Structure 1
Amino acid sequence: MNHACFPKAVLFDLDGTLLDSAPDMLAATNVMLAARGRAPMTLDALRPHVSKGARAMIGAAFPDVDVAEREGWVPEFLEHYGSELGRHGAPFDGIEAMLTTLEAAGCIWGIVTNKPEYLAAQLVPLLGWEDRCAVLIGGDTLPVRKPDPLPLLVAAERIGIAATDCVYVGDDERDIVAARAAGMPSVVALWGYRLPGDQPADWRGDTMVEQPDMLCDAQRWPSP
Protein backbone atom coordinates (compact mmCIF):
# COMPACT_ATOMS: atom_id res chain seq x y z
CA MET A 1 0.00 0.00 0.00
CA ASN A 2 1.25 3.49 -0.85
CA HIS A 3 1.32 5.78 2.18
CA ALA A 4 2.87 8.80 0.42
CA CYS A 5 1.50 12.08 1.67
CA PHE A 6 2.20 15.78 1.32
CA PRO A 7 4.31 17.59 3.93
CA LYS A 8 2.65 19.46 6.80
CA ALA A 9 4.28 22.65 5.53
CA VAL A 10 6.36 23.74 2.57
CA LEU A 11 8.63 26.78 2.46
CA PHE A 12 9.71 28.10 -0.92
CA ASP A 13 12.45 30.27 -2.28
CA LEU A 14 10.88 33.00 -4.45
CA ASP A 15 13.00 34.02 -7.46
CA GLY A 16 13.72 31.03 -9.67
CA THR A 17 11.51 28.72 -7.63
CA LEU A 18 7.98 30.11 -7.42
CA LEU A 19 8.48 33.10 -9.66
CA ASP A 20 10.13 33.59 -13.03
CA SER A 21 11.23 37.10 -12.10
CA ALA A 22 14.07 37.28 -14.62
CA PRO A 23 12.06 39.48 -17.05
CA ASP A 24 11.56 42.11 -14.31
CA MET A 25 15.23 41.90 -13.39
CA LEU A 26 16.19 42.29 -17.04
CA ALA A 27 14.12 45.44 -17.39
CA ALA A 28 15.87 46.97 -14.35
CA THR A 29 19.30 45.91 -15.61
CA ASN A 30 18.69 47.38 -19.04
CA VAL A 31 17.65 50.75 -17.58
CA MET A 32 21.06 50.88 -15.88
CA LEU A 33 22.87 49.84 -19.06
CA ALA A 34 21.03 52.43 -21.16
CA ALA A 35 21.85 55.17 -18.64
CA ARG A 36 25.53 54.35 -19.15
CA GLY A 37 25.34 54.22 -22.93
CA ARG A 38 25.59 50.46 -23.14
CA ALA A 39 23.66 47.91 -25.19
CA PRO A 40 20.90 45.94 -23.46
CA MET A 41 21.43 42.43 -22.11
CA THR A 42 19.39 39.49 -23.33
CA LEU A 43 17.17 37.46 -21.04
CA ASP A 44 19.25 34.33 -21.73
CA ALA A 45 22.41 36.13 -20.61
CA LEU A 46 20.92 37.41 -17.35
CA ARG A 47 18.70 34.48 -16.32
CA PRO A 48 21.46 32.22 -14.88
CA HIS A 49 22.50 34.99 -12.45
CA VAL A 50 19.08 35.91 -11.04
CA SER A 51 19.07 33.56 -8.04
CA LYS A 52 22.51 34.84 -7.03
CA GLY A 53 21.06 38.29 -6.24
CA ALA A 54 21.42 41.93 -7.26
CA ARG A 55 25.22 42.02 -7.03
CA ALA A 56 25.57 39.01 -9.31
CA MET A 57 23.23 40.53 -11.88
CA ILE A 58 25.05 43.87 -11.83
CA GLY A 59 28.32 41.98 -12.17
CA ALA A 60 27.01 40.08 -15.19
CA ALA A 61 25.89 43.33 -16.82
CA PHE A 62 29.07 45.27 -16.00
CA PRO A 63 31.88 42.70 -15.77
CA ASP A 64 34.52 45.34 -16.58
CA VAL A 65 33.54 47.63 -13.68
CA ASP A 66 35.38 47.41 -10.36
CA VAL A 67 33.53 45.40 -7.71
CA ALA A 68 33.66 48.26 -5.20
CA GLU A 69 32.09 50.66 -7.70
CA ARG A 70 29.39 48.12 -8.57
CA GLU A 71 28.58 47.75 -4.88
CA GLY A 72 27.49 51.39 -4.86
CA TRP A 73 25.04 50.65 -7.66
CA VAL A 74 22.97 48.11 -5.69
CA PRO A 75 20.46 50.72 -4.37
CA GLU A 76 20.01 52.04 -7.92
CA PHE A 77 19.33 48.52 -9.20
CA LEU A 78 16.78 47.88 -6.44
CA GLU A 79 15.05 51.19 -7.18
CA HIS A 80 14.72 50.33 -10.88
CA TYR A 81 13.64 46.80 -10.04
CA GLY A 82 10.98 48.17 -7.69
CA SER A 83 9.56 50.15 -10.63
CA GLU A 84 9.42 47.00 -12.77
CA LEU A 85 8.17 44.70 -10.01
CA GLY A 86 5.57 42.24 -11.26
CA ARG A 87 5.26 43.93 -14.66
CA HIS A 88 7.01 41.32 -16.79
CA GLY A 89 7.54 38.14 -14.75
CA ALA A 90 5.03 35.49 -13.68
CA PRO A 91 4.92 32.26 -11.68
CA PHE A 92 6.53 29.35 -13.49
CA ASP A 93 4.17 27.05 -15.38
CA GLY A 94 2.71 24.52 -12.96
CA ILE A 95 3.24 26.58 -9.79
CA GLU A 96 -0.42 27.49 -9.37
CA ALA A 97 -1.54 23.88 -9.82
CA MET A 98 1.06 22.75 -7.29
CA LEU A 99 0.07 25.37 -4.69
CA THR A 100 -3.62 24.54 -5.13
CA THR A 101 -2.85 20.84 -4.67
CA LEU A 102 -0.89 21.53 -1.48
CA GLU A 103 -3.69 23.71 -0.08
CA ALA A 104 -6.29 21.05 -0.87
CA ALA A 105 -4.18 18.56 1.07
CA GLY A 106 -4.16 20.87 4.10
CA CYS A 107 -0.52 21.85 3.66
CA ILE A 108 0.61 25.27 4.89
CA TRP A 109 3.06 27.11 2.65
CA GLY A 110 5.23 30.19 2.90
CA ILE A 111 8.19 31.99 1.38
CA VAL A 112 11.79 32.37 2.59
CA THR A 113 13.76 34.51 0.15
CA ASN A 114 16.96 36.54 0.12
CA LYS A 115 15.09 39.31 -1.72
CA PRO A 116 14.62 42.38 0.51
CA GLU A 117 11.43 41.92 2.52
CA TYR A 118 9.78 45.13 1.27
CA LEU A 119 10.08 43.96 -2.35
CA ALA A 120 8.87 40.44 -1.61
CA ALA A 121 5.94 41.86 0.38
CA GLN A 122 4.94 43.99 -2.62
CA LEU A 123 5.07 40.99 -4.95
CA VAL A 124 2.89 38.62 -2.92
CA PRO A 125 -0.39 40.55 -3.42
CA LEU A 126 0.45 41.18 -7.09
CA LEU A 127 0.51 37.40 -7.46
CA GLY A 128 -2.76 36.99 -5.54
CA TRP A 129 -1.04 35.13 -2.73
CA GLU A 130 -1.55 37.54 0.19
CA ASP A 131 -4.24 35.35 1.80
CA ARG A 132 -2.51 32.10 0.94
CA CYS A 133 1.14 32.61 1.92
CA ALA A 134 1.34 31.84 5.66
CA VAL A 135 4.76 33.39 6.31
CA LEU A 136 7.20 35.63 4.47
CA ILE A 137 10.84 36.00 5.46
CA GLY A 138 13.03 38.30 3.35
CA GLY A 139 16.77 38.66 3.08
CA ASP A 140 16.79 41.55 5.56
CA THR A 141 14.04 40.35 7.92
CA LEU A 142 16.68 38.86 10.23
CA PRO A 143 20.37 39.68 10.85
CA VAL A 144 21.36 36.74 8.61
CA ARG A 145 20.03 35.22 5.39
CA LYS A 146 20.43 31.97 3.48
CA PRO A 147 22.63 29.90 3.47
CA ASP A 148 22.27 30.49 7.21
CA PRO A 149 19.45 28.24 8.48
CA LEU A 150 17.92 30.88 10.79
CA PRO A 151 15.40 32.27 8.24
CA LEU A 152 14.02 28.77 7.66
CA LEU A 153 13.88 28.04 11.38
CA VAL A 154 12.10 31.33 12.13
CA ALA A 155 9.60 30.70 9.33
CA ALA A 156 8.80 27.25 10.73
CA GLU A 157 8.41 28.75 14.21
CA ARG A 158 6.02 31.44 12.94
CA ILE A 159 3.70 28.91 11.33
CA GLY A 160 3.91 26.61 14.32
CA ILE A 161 5.34 23.60 12.49
CA ALA A 162 8.54 21.80 13.52
CA ALA A 163 11.36 22.38 11.04
CA THR A 164 11.68 18.63 10.54
CA ASP A 165 8.01 18.53 9.42
CA CYS A 166 8.58 21.24 6.79
CA VAL A 167 10.15 20.87 3.36
CA TYR A 168 12.17 23.63 1.71
CA VAL A 169 12.11 24.05 -2.08
CA GLY A 170 14.81 26.11 -3.81
CA ASP A 171 16.81 26.41 -7.02
CA ASP A 172 20.16 27.53 -5.59
CA GLU A 173 22.81 25.66 -3.61
CA ARG A 174 22.46 28.06 -0.67
CA ASP A 175 18.80 27.01 -0.38
CA ILE A 176 19.76 23.39 0.05
CA VAL A 177 22.64 24.21 2.41
CA ALA A 178 20.26 26.25 4.60
CA ALA A 179 17.67 23.48 4.64
CA ARG A 180 20.20 20.84 5.62
CA ALA A 181 21.52 23.03 8.44
CA ALA A 182 17.94 23.58 9.64
CA GLY A 183 17.23 19.85 9.68
CA MET A 184 14.60 20.40 6.99
CA PRO A 185 14.11 18.02 4.04
CA SER A 186 14.73 19.77 0.72
CA VAL A 187 13.68 19.74 -2.92
CA VAL A 188 16.02 21.03 -5.64
CA ALA A 189 13.92 22.98 -8.16
CA LEU A 190 15.63 22.11 -11.43
CA TRP A 191 13.36 24.47 -13.39
CA GLY A 192 15.04 27.50 -11.79
CA TYR A 193 18.10 29.62 -12.50
CA ARG A 194 21.54 28.03 -12.58
CA LEU A 195 24.97 28.99 -13.84
CA PRO A 196 26.46 26.62 -16.44
CA GLY A 197 28.92 25.17 -13.93
CA ASP A 198 26.38 24.47 -11.20
CA GLN A 199 26.02 20.80 -10.29
CA PRO A 200 22.70 20.38 -8.43
CA ALA A 201 23.34 16.69 -7.87
CA ASP A 202 26.26 17.73 -5.63
CA TRP A 203 24.09 19.92 -3.40
CA ARG A 204 22.81 16.90 -1.44
CA GLY A 205 19.14 17.82 -1.63
CA ASP A 206 16.71 15.08 -0.63
CA THR A 207 15.15 15.02 -4.08
CA MET A 208 15.39 16.85 -7.40
CA VAL A 209 12.32 17.77 -9.43
CA GLU A 210 12.27 18.88 -13.07
CA GLN A 211 8.94 20.74 -13.21
CA PRO A 212 6.61 22.30 -10.60
CA ASP A 213 3.56 20.25 -11.56
CA MET A 214 5.45 17.07 -10.67
CA LEU A 215 5.01 18.18 -7.05
CA CYS A 216 1.26 17.64 -7.43
CA ASP A 217 2.19 13.99 -6.80
CA ALA A 218 2.67 13.29 -3.09
CA GLN A 219 5.24 10.61 -3.94
CA ARG A 220 7.65 13.24 -5.28
CA TRP A 221 8.02 14.91 -1.88
CA PRO A 222 10.74 13.78 0.55
CA SER A 223 9.52 12.15 3.73
CA PRO A 224 10.33 14.01 6.97
Structure 2
Amino acid sequence: MKYILRTSSMMLSALALSGFALCFSTAINAEQYIFPENGQSKEQQNLDKQSCHVWAIEETGFDPENPQVAQVVAYTAPITPSQPVEQGSDRGSGMRGAMAGAAAGAIIAEVGDDDRSDAAATGAAVGAVAGRRQSRRSNTQAAEQQAQAQQQAVQQQAQAQAAADQQTQLANTQGTDNYYKASSACLEAKGYSVK
Protein backbone atom coordinates (compact mmCIF):
# COMPACT_ATOMS: atom_id res chain seq x y z
CA MET A 1 0.00 0.00 0.00
CA LYS A 2 2.95 2.34 0.66
CA TYR A 3 4.10 1.67 -2.91
CA ILE A 4 0.71 2.77 -4.28
CA LEU A 5 0.81 6.02 -2.30
CA ARG A 6 4.42 6.79 -3.31
CA THR A 7 3.70 6.09 -6.98
CA SER A 8 0.59 8.22 -6.84
CA SER A 9 2.47 11.09 -5.20
CA MET A 10 5.13 10.96 -7.89
CA MET A 11 2.44 10.88 -10.57
CA LEU A 12 0.73 13.95 -9.08
CA SER A 13 4.05 15.81 -8.91
CA ALA A 14 4.84 14.99 -12.54
CA LEU A 15 1.39 16.12 -13.66
CA ALA A 16 1.66 19.37 -11.74
CA LEU A 17 5.12 20.14 -13.15
CA SER A 18 4.13 19.30 -16.73
CA GLY A 19 1.03 21.46 -16.43
CA PHE A 20 3.10 24.32 -14.99
CA ALA A 21 5.61 24.09 -17.84
CA LEU A 22 2.88 24.00 -20.48
CA CYS A 23 1.20 27.07 -19.02
CA PHE A 24 4.21 29.24 -19.64
CA SER A 25 5.49 27.74 -22.90
CA THR A 26 2.87 29.60 -24.94
CA ALA A 27 3.82 32.99 -23.52
CA ILE A 28 7.54 32.41 -23.97
CA ASN A 29 7.32 31.10 -27.56
CA ALA A 30 4.91 33.75 -28.87
CA GLU A 31 6.63 36.44 -30.91
CA GLN A 32 5.63 39.45 -33.01
CA TYR A 33 7.42 40.62 -36.11
CA ILE A 34 7.13 44.38 -36.48
CA PHE A 35 8.06 46.33 -39.61
CA PRO A 36 7.99 50.15 -39.73
CA GLU A 37 5.92 51.14 -42.79
CA ASN A 38 6.45 54.89 -42.39
CA GLY A 39 10.24 54.89 -41.92
CA GLN A 40 10.14 55.20 -38.13
CA SER A 41 13.55 55.29 -36.45
CA LYS A 42 14.76 52.52 -34.15
CA GLU A 43 14.24 54.78 -31.13
CA GLN A 44 10.69 55.60 -32.24
CA GLN A 45 10.00 51.88 -32.80
CA ASN A 46 11.14 51.10 -29.25
CA LEU A 47 8.97 53.89 -27.81
CA ASP A 48 5.95 52.74 -29.82
CA LYS A 49 6.49 49.09 -28.88
CA GLN A 50 6.74 50.03 -25.21
CA SER A 51 3.63 52.22 -25.24
CA CYS A 52 1.65 49.54 -27.13
CA HIS A 53 2.91 46.91 -24.68
CA VAL A 54 1.61 48.93 -21.73
CA TRP A 55 -1.68 49.66 -23.52
CA ALA A 56 -2.21 45.98 -24.44
CA ILE A 57 -1.63 44.94 -20.82
CA GLU A 58 -4.12 47.53 -19.60
CA GLU A 59 -6.69 46.44 -22.18
CA THR A 60 -6.36 42.69 -21.67
CA GLY A 61 -5.17 42.44 -18.09
CA PHE A 62 -2.49 40.00 -19.27
CA ASP A 63 1.29 40.42 -19.49
CA PRO A 64 2.99 37.62 -21.48
CA GLU A 65 6.31 38.41 -19.82
CA ASN A 66 4.75 37.84 -16.41
CA PRO A 67 1.63 35.69 -16.81
CA GLN A 68 -0.30 36.10 -13.58
CA VAL A 69 -3.35 34.13 -14.60
CA ALA A 70 -4.72 32.64 -11.45
CA GLN A 71 -3.77 29.02 -11.61
CA VAL A 72 -6.80 26.81 -11.31
CA VAL A 73 -6.28 24.40 -8.46
CA ALA A 74 -8.41 21.35 -8.11
CA TYR A 75 -9.46 20.80 -4.53
CA THR A 76 -9.77 17.30 -3.33
CA ALA A 77 -9.73 16.04 0.18
CA PRO A 78 -6.18 15.35 1.31
CA ILE A 79 -5.10 11.76 1.06
CA THR A 80 -3.94 10.59 4.43
CA PRO A 81 -2.62 7.16 5.10
CA SER A 82 -5.16 5.49 7.27
CA GLN A 83 -4.41 3.32 10.22
CA PRO A 84 -3.76 -0.26 9.18
CA VAL A 85 -6.40 -2.69 10.25
CA GLU A 86 -4.97 -4.90 12.97
CA GLN A 87 -5.45 -8.59 12.73
CA GLY A 88 -8.05 -9.60 15.25
CA SER A 89 -8.86 -6.03 16.16
CA ASP A 90 -12.41 -7.11 16.90
CA ARG A 91 -11.56 -7.83 20.52
CA GLY A 92 -13.65 -10.46 22.19
CA SER A 93 -14.65 -12.22 18.98
CA GLY A 94 -13.04 -15.45 20.18
CA MET A 95 -14.69 -15.13 23.59
CA ARG A 96 -18.11 -14.51 22.06
CA GLY A 97 -17.61 -17.50 19.79
CA ALA A 98 -16.55 -19.63 22.74
CA MET A 99 -19.61 -18.63 24.76
CA ALA A 100 -21.93 -19.34 21.85
CA GLY A 101 -20.19 -22.67 21.22
CA ALA A 102 -20.36 -23.66 24.89
CA ALA A 103 -24.07 -22.88 25.00
CA ALA A 104 -24.69 -24.84 21.82
CA GLY A 105 -22.62 -27.76 23.12
CA ALA A 106 -24.51 -27.80 26.42
CA ILE A 107 -27.87 -27.78 24.62
CA ILE A 108 -26.81 -30.58 22.30
CA ALA A 109 -25.51 -32.62 25.26
CA GLU A 110 -28.79 -32.05 27.14
CA VAL A 111 -30.80 -33.30 24.19
CA GLY A 112 -28.56 -36.32 23.69
CA ASP A 113 -28.21 -37.13 27.42
CA ASP A 114 -24.41 -36.78 27.19
CA ASP A 115 -22.02 -35.15 29.63
CA ARG A 116 -22.76 -31.44 29.36
CA SER A 117 -19.36 -30.21 30.59
CA ASP A 118 -17.43 -32.10 27.88
CA ALA A 119 -19.85 -30.97 25.18
CA ALA A 120 -19.70 -27.38 26.43
CA ALA A 121 -15.87 -27.42 26.42
CA THR A 122 -15.79 -28.83 22.88
CA GLY A 123 -18.40 -26.31 21.75
CA ALA A 124 -16.43 -23.49 23.36
CA ALA A 125 -13.23 -24.49 21.54
CA VAL A 126 -14.99 -24.80 18.19
CA GLY A 127 -16.84 -21.51 18.76
CA ALA A 128 -13.65 -19.65 19.68
CA VAL A 129 -11.89 -20.81 16.52
CA ALA A 130 -14.90 -19.94 14.37
CA GLY A 131 -15.22 -16.49 15.98
CA ARG A 132 -11.56 -15.65 15.42
CA ARG A 133 -11.71 -16.88 11.82
CA GLN A 134 -14.72 -14.66 11.11
CA SER A 135 -12.98 -11.69 12.72
CA ARG A 136 -9.87 -12.17 10.57
CA ARG A 137 -11.96 -12.50 7.42
CA SER A 138 -13.75 -9.23 8.25
CA ASN A 139 -10.44 -7.47 8.93
CA THR A 140 -8.98 -8.64 5.62
CA GLN A 141 -12.01 -7.40 3.71
CA ALA A 142 -11.88 -4.04 5.49
CA ALA A 143 -8.18 -3.63 4.66
CA GLU A 144 -8.80 -4.43 0.97
CA GLN A 145 -11.68 -1.95 0.79
CA GLN A 146 -9.54 0.69 2.47
CA ALA A 147 -6.71 0.19 -0.04
CA GLN A 148 -9.14 0.41 -2.97
CA ALA A 149 -10.68 3.61 -1.61
CA GLN A 150 -7.24 5.21 -1.23
CA GLN A 151 -6.23 4.21 -4.74
CA GLN A 152 -9.44 5.68 -6.16
CA ALA A 153 -8.88 8.91 -4.22
CA VAL A 154 -5.36 9.22 -5.63
CA GLN A 155 -6.61 8.64 -9.17
CA GLN A 156 -9.42 11.17 -8.76
CA GLN A 157 -7.00 13.74 -7.40
CA ALA A 158 -4.63 13.20 -10.34
CA GLN A 159 -7.49 13.58 -12.81
CA ALA A 160 -8.76 16.72 -11.10
CA GLN A 161 -5.28 18.27 -11.10
CA ALA A 162 -4.78 17.41 -14.78
CA ALA A 163 -8.10 19.11 -15.61
CA ALA A 164 -7.11 22.16 -13.54
CA ASP A 165 -3.73 22.35 -15.30
CA GLN A 166 -5.48 22.18 -18.65
CA GLN A 167 -7.80 25.04 -17.65
CA THR A 168 -4.82 27.11 -16.53
CA GLN A 169 -3.03 26.46 -19.81
CA LEU A 170 -6.13 27.46 -21.76
CA ALA A 171 -6.48 30.68 -19.74
CA ASN A 172 -2.82 31.56 -20.38
CA THR A 173 -3.17 30.80 -24.09
CA GLN A 174 -6.25 33.00 -24.36
CA GLY A 175 -4.55 35.77 -22.39
CA THR A 176 -1.51 35.63 -24.66
CA ASP A 177 -3.64 35.66 -27.80
CA ASN A 178 -5.68 38.63 -26.57
CA TYR A 179 -2.55 40.53 -25.58
CA TYR A 180 -0.95 40.08 -29.02
CA LYS A 181 -4.16 41.10 -30.80
CA ALA A 182 -4.31 44.29 -28.73
CA SER A 183 -0.61 45.00 -29.21
CA SER A 184 -0.90 44.42 -32.96
CA ALA A 185 -3.89 46.76 -33.21
CA CYS A 186 -1.96 49.48 -31.38
CA LEU A 187 1.17 49.08 -33.50
CA GLU A 188 -0.80 48.99 -36.76
CA ALA A 189 -2.54 52.22 -35.73
CA LYS A 190 0.93 53.78 -35.27
CA GLY A 191 1.99 52.80 -38.81
CA TYR A 192 3.63 49.38 -38.41
CA SER A 193 3.05 46.10 -40.19
CA VAL A 194 2.72 43.34 -37.58
CA LYS A 195 2.81 39.58 -38.16
TM-score, normalization: structure 2?
Answer: 0.22
More helix by share: 2
More strand by share: 1
Q: Which has the higher contact order (CA 8 A, sep 6+)?
A: 2
Q: Could you say which structure has the larger radius of gyration?
A: 2
